[in-house]
Amino acid sequence: MIKGVTENEEKIVKNVLKDYPYTFYYYGSRVKGDFTKSSDLDILAESTEDIKAGIIEEIEMKFNESKIPYVVKISDKAKIENYFYELIKPSLVKIEL
């Protein structure tokens, strides 16, 4: 568990992500501990194959409909700039589903 996610919120995260065949990581302020109540939750999705169009939006919609009290943003590792990946890489925390 990370600093910026309660045990109940983590259960919701895992429940939303469990049906997707990807590896997911937390990153950002909720991992580093410098978050505020309204900070979003950043999640990186990684796959050995391309993540089909619309899947990221589908996952984000499920989070929007969940009881998590903040925005959850999903990034596709294959679609982010390498410099950004290198920036967040030290803070990645694998989500064990």
Confidence of residue 15 (pLDDT cuts 50, 70, 90): very high
Write out pLDDT tens, residues 33-83: 999 989 999 999 999 999 999 999 999 999 999 999 999 999 999 999 999
pTM score of the predicted model = 0.95
Q: Is 69 helix (H, G, I), strand (E, B) or coil?
A: coil
CATH topology of domain 7-94: Beta Polymerase; domain 2 (3.30.460)
Would you kindly state where each structural domain of the chain is located, as residue ranges? 7-94
Q: Which of 45, 57, 34, 59 is nearest to 92 (CA)?
A: 45
- The DSSP code sequence of 72-89 is EEEEEGGGS-HHHHHHHG
Residue 86 neighbours by CB under 8 Å, 6+ apart: none
